[in-house]
Structure 1
């Protein structure tokens, strides 16, 4: 034994080849925490002191190689400032360089995922062998940072600037065949042959058959690119990536700049450039929020995993209602391997559902993600039916009929009579109380809400709604099924609008109040899109559908009359109501706040519509000028306050779940971290002061809760007070 730590062991074989194995005790995966990096330093020093070694093999005892750095340490680390980060990064560079400079050949056996810092570790060795099922990548730009342990330096020298830019700026996970084609690895073999193949390459390098020193020199020297080639590679990429990433996500473009600046430098200087850029990005609120988002996602996944472990597996599902939504649910279930019955009362409805599923599968084939044979196989997982004949053998049923309480109540009672004692019944409702729908059921403990967002195949969130009588077993099975479908389930308690719609409608309320005071809806859209929303409120309402919005608005007004009762103003119809009354339903009939024309791909494209502009004048009771900051405040404050109320009312279990639901469900700007993190960034005291100022004029929709006032007075936050965003520290 050359070295033994908590995460790393190094042994010497009879052939004088050392094997360094990553195996972090008491963890399911290997992560590069600061403690593990310290062990790596000690292990490398032990290797340097060992005499007579012929080679080194890096391996992992886990299913994954190394999933990356320990992201739980990031925010506290970032809070220590740029100088600390640069110093820390240069220390790690020293450790990694020591691996690269060992006086004998080195090879990594990549058995599973090797991401971020894990990928940067394997780039230090002279050769790499990869299992067929493994994936490698540098996803740091998705966290608002860039590879800081040599990824921006070594990868371009290994696979070329163009390919490295694609991997790093895109933050992609890359399969073994792609990695081999690019030259990132030297061989791809079946898992059972991995170690033998790695040792074979090592033996050939020791024998002089493979020139490991030449490989090493190539990684340490400047990139072999002339001035014109550099301009073509970098300037074109910067323009393309900037357009794709958008102004709120600087990391992808910054990564290209780092590769460009370091291209003409030797290893040490290029690494210093990388470290400086990493520290600069790490000190931004974007990086802080995106790292926070990752942490929140882990919280949600862990909760989902706990439910899943307690659940009876869903081996056969069914969906009632075969429209666009039912077809989308059937597609999602079938595509992820859970067979599903799709029932309706009409043949043409069944055909519509199947058409939707076929269309979605065909798109997968067009994109090369699915073969025709696999498409046929997965499509066969959907079995259409006009009867309840096989419903006795189903584990979970999703009711997805029209959003009408009386229709849903009738259908749910009817299907319950056909189900086994243990079968879970779930309603895909966006607004109707789960307790109301459960009232006439014989087994309300087996019933809950399962709210999918449209379009089902794209939207990651599923709200699992617990009613007063819903059992833990029903919630667990529904969460497990949602996860099996590739969705992110978040469990919420029953109330009007549940979590996401309840939080969204005060945002629409803020929009209606702005319209009543003469704001231009197209300008409001532009301001909110610039703020980071994928679409402004008027455009979003057109996509949702004015009839849907009016119906949901009525539910909210009835449920929360004191603040959502009359959003259009005293004696006034709101702009949304006015659109609905004039049959301007949005995209579904090609006219709403905007008119819609088909683009070249057959998708609806919004265009200015004078009739809509004229119509909105009918709700204006006064004409005022609003600054961009005014518009943002009046839109965001009611949304954030409702998220606070949902947390206080125990509709949602934690700030992390509330924020992730808004990001996954309605496209809350990810770089802002969510509604509650947005309040934290502003400062609870400042947010309360702003809300009070607006409430004085606009009423209860903008009034802070008593508990929020107490938080402000006590200097409390929704997230850990010890870890602050750099610009708030």
Structure 2
């Protein structure tokens, strides 16, 4: 044993080959925390001092290789400022360079995920062998930064600028076959053969059969492109990457620039360029919020995992109500290996649901995600039925019939009588009280809400709603099923609209107030899309369905009349009365035509504009900041109320739900991080100004006033001074 630490060790064999094994004590995965980097420096020192070594293998004792740096440290480290970050990265560069410069060949045995710094350390070795099911990548741009430990330097020299830019700017996780194709690794093998293959490579290199020095020379010298080739590679890439990333996400374009600036430089000079760019990005609001989003996501997953451990076994699911939503739920369940019955009372609805599921499977085949044999096998996991005959063995039923309390109550009563006493019932309702629906059930403790977002296969969030009588086992089972389906479940308590719709409709209420003041809805859409939303409020209402939105608004108005009561002359009501339902009938705020791919494309509708104009009560000049405030303040305030009312448990869950459920701009971190960024005192003052004219929808809670007066925040202030 050359070295033994709490996170890694170094052993040697009879052939003089050293193996540096990462195995972080007490953790399920390896990360490169500050402490691990400290141990790595000691281990490298021990390797350098050891006599008669002939080679080095980097390996992992865990199922993943190294999943990256320890992101839980980021906010604290980034708070130390630019100079500290540059020095920190340069220190790691120097350490990694010592690994790269060892006087004997080296190889990485990548047995599982190798991401970020975990992949960057493998790039220091002369060779890389990879398990068939392993994946590698540099996802740093997804956190608003760029690879800072040599990824922007070594990867382009190893695989070429074009391939490296695609991986780095895209932040992709790449399978073994792709890594082998572009030359990021040298061999792909079954996991159990990796270490033997690594030893064989080192022995061949020692015999001169493999030229490890040529590999090093390629990685440590300038990138082999002349001026014209550089211009073609990088200028084209910058334009393409900028278009894909959008103006709110600077890291991907900055990464291309770093590769370009370092292309003609030596290893050390290119690394200095990389370190400086990393530090600048690390201090941006975008990075701060995206790192916060990652940490929130981990917290949400941890809570869901705790529920999952309490869940009963789930072998058979069922969905009531076919059609688009039922077909989407059936597809998602079957695609993740949970067989599902799909019941409806009409054969044509069953066929529609099967058609929807089949269409989604075909798309997976077209994208190369599935082969036709696997598609056929998974399709058999969906069993259509017109009766309850096979429901005796079902473990969990998702009711997804029409959004009508009387219909849902009747259907839930029927299915409760058909299933075993241990079965869990869940309603896919977006607005109807779970406690209300439970009143007709004999076993209300085994009933909860399971609110999917449309389209089911794309939207990651599932709200699991706990009613007044819902038991822990029902919640645990539903959370576990959502996780099996590949979704992010967040448990919320029952109230009108639950969490996401309760928060979204004050945003629409602010939109109605803007229209009453004469705002042009097309301009409002452009402003909010510029703010970062995937679509503006008018477009979003069309996608949701204007009739659906009208119904939900009525439910919320009944539940919260002080601030959500419908305004006289509601624009949405006026459009619905004119037969405009949005995208579903191609007429809403916009008119919809099919594009070349058969997808709906919105175009201006002068008739709709005339109808909206009839609701204008007071024409005034509204600048972009005023438009943003009218929409964001009520949304943020309702999020605060949901937290204070105990509808959602933590700021992390609230913000994650908004980002995953309605597309809140991720780079802004969520509604509560948005308030923190503005400052609670400034936010309360803004809300008070709007409340003077527009009333309770804009009025801060007393608790929020107390927080503002006391200098409190929703999230800890660690790193905040550096991120502003």
Into which bin does the TM-score normalised by the smaller protein fall? over 0.9
Contact 2:78 2:719 in 1 (8 A): no
**Alignment partner, residue 633 of structure 1:** 629
**Alignment partner, residue 460 of structure 2:** 460
State the distance in 1 between where 2:532 and 2:69 align: 28
State the distance in 2 between where 1:235 and 1:443 align: 64
**What is the CA distance between 1:404 and its match in structure 2?**
0.2
SS state at 2:398 partner: strand
**What is the CA distance between 1:686 and its match in structure 2?**
0.6
State the distance in 1 between where 2:292 and 2:701 align: 25
Q: 1:495-529 CA deviation, whole Å, 9 max, x = no partner?
A: 00000000000000000000011111001000000
State the distance in 2 between where 1:694 and 1:611 align: 31
Q: 1:698 aligns with which of 694, 711, 724?
A: 694
**What is the CA distance between 1:232 and its match in structure 2?**
1.1
Q: 1:580 aligns with which of 576, 582, 587?
A: 576
State the distance in 1 between where 2:398 and 2:722 align: 45
SS state at 1:677 partner: helix
**Alignment partner, residue 315 of structure 2:** 315
**Alignment partner, residue 481 of structure 2:** 481
State the distance in 1 between where 2:84 and 2:554 align: 54
Instruction: Report whether the alignment pairs 1:511 with 2:486.
Output: no
Q: 1:161-195 CA deviation, whole Å, 9 max, x = no partner?
A: 00000100011111111111111111111111111
State the distance in 2 between where 1:212 and 1:725 align: 46
**Alignment partner, residue 605 of structure 1:** 601
Contact 2:75 2:718 in 1 (8 A): no
State the distance in 2 between where 1:165 and 1:460 align: 28
SS state at 1:490 partner: strand
**What is the CA distance between 1:727 and its match in structure 2?**
4.3
State the distance in 2 between where 1:107 and 1:595 align: 59
SS state at 2:722 partner: coil
Unaligned runs of 5+ in 1: none
State the distance in 2 between where 1:573 and 1:548 align: 18
State the distance in 2 between where 1:270 and 1:443 align: 66
Q: What TM-score comes out, normalization by structure 1 length?
A: 0.99
State the distance in 2 between where 1:321 and 1:370 align: 27
**Alignment partner, residue 368 of structure 1:** 368
- Within a 5 Å distance, the mapping from 1:144-293 to structure 2 comes to 144-293=144-293
**Alignment partner, residue 451 of structure 1:** 451
**Alignment partner, residue 71 of structure 2:** 71
Contact 1:452 1:462 in 2 (8 A): yes
- Within a 5 Å distance, the mapping from 1:43-82 to structure 2 comes to 43-82=43-82
Contact 1:313 1:480 in 2 (8 A): no
**Alignment partner, residue 337 of structure 2:** 337
Q: 2:647 aligns with which of 651, 655, 659?
A: 651
**Alignment partner, residue 358 of structure 2:** 358
Contact 1:681 1:725 in 2 (8 A): no
Q: 1:347-401 CA deviation, whole Å, 9 max, x = no partner?
A: 1110010010011111111111111111110000000000101101000000000
**Alignment partner, residue 533 of structure 1:** 533
Unaligned runs of 5+ in 2: none
Contact 1:116 1:147 in 2 (8 A): yes
State the distance in 1 between where 2:562 and 2:2 align: 71
Q: What TM-score comes out, normalization by structure 2 length?
A: 0.99
**Alignment partner, residue 621 of structure 1:** 617
Q: 1:609-648 CA deviation, whole Å, 9 max, x = no partner?
A: 1111111111111101101000001100000000000000
Q: 1:290-348 CA deviation, whole Å, 9 max, x = no partner?
A: 00000000001111111111101211000000111000000000011000000001111
**What is the CA distance between 1:725 and its match in structure 2?**
5.6
SS state at 1:253 partner: helix
State the distance in 2 between where 1:516 and 1:654 align: 35
Contact 2:325 2:456 in 1 (8 A): yes
**What is the CA distance between 1:14 and its match in structure 2?**
1.6
Contact 2:445 2:470 in 1 (8 A): yes
Contact 1:33 1:73 in 2 (8 A): yes
Contact 1:132 1:190 in 2 (8 A): yes
State the distance in 2 between where 1:50 and 1:464 align: 57
- Within a 5 Å distance, the mapping from 1:87-166 to structure 2 comes to 87-166=87-166
State the distance in 1 between where 2:587 and 2:608 align: 8
**Alignment partner, residue 713 of structure 1:** 709
State the distance in 2 between where 1:245 and 1:178 align: 23
SS state at 1:39 partner: helix
State the distance in 1 between where 2:532 and 2:19 align: 48
Structure 1 stretches of at least 4 aligned residues deviating more than 4 Å after TM superposition: none
SS state at 2:450 partner: strand
**Alignment partner, residue 24 of structure 1:** 24
Contact 1:288 1:726 in 2 (8 A): no
State the distance in 1 between where 2:472 and 2:653 align: 18
**Alignment partner, residue 2 of structure 1:** 2
Contact 1:285 1:725 in 2 (8 A): no
**What is the CA distance between 1:589 and its match in structure 2?**
1.0
Q: CA RMSD in A?
A: 0.7
State the distance in 2 between where 1:79 and 1:611 align: 53
**Alignment partner, residue 664 of structure 1:** 660
State the distance in 1 between where 2:663 and 2:654 align: 13
Q: 1:17-72 CA deviation, whole Å, 9 max, x = no partner?
A: 11110000000000000000011111111111112211111110000000000000
**Alignment partner, residue 440 of structure 1:** 440
SS state at 1:699 partner: helix
State the distance in 2 between where 1:266 and 1:708 align: 54
State the distance in 2 between where 1:65 and 1:617 align: 61
Instruction: Report whether the alignment pairs 1:722 with 2:715.
Output: no
State the distance in 2 between where 1:654 and 1:515 align: 34
State the distance in 1 between where 2:7 and 2:206 align: 28
**Alignment partner, residue 399 of structure 2:** 399
Contact 1:285 1:726 in 2 (8 A): no
SS state at 1:370 partner: coil
**What is the CA distance between 1:533 and its match in structure 2?**
0.2
Contact 2:288 2:723 in 1 (8 A): no
- Within a 5 Å distance, the mapping from 1:293-304 to structure 2 comes to 293-304=293-304
**Alignment partner, residue 492 of structure 2:** 492
SS state at 1:619 partner: coil
SS state at 2:264 partner: coil
Contact 2:79 2:718 in 1 (8 A): no
Q: 1:546-603 CA deviation, whole Å, 9 max, x = no partner?
A: 100000000010000000013x2xxx21111111111111111111111111111111
Number of positions where the alignment pairs a residue of Structure 1 with one of Structure 2: 724
**What is the CA distance between 1:722 and its match in structure 2?**
3.0
Q: 1:145-167 CA deviation, whole Å, 9 max, x = no partner?
A: 00000000000000000000010
State the distance in 2 between where 1:364 and 1:707 align: 48
State the distance in 2 between where 1:329 and 1:143 align: 31
SS state at 1:468 partner: coil
State the distance in 1 between where 2:148 and 2:378 align: 42
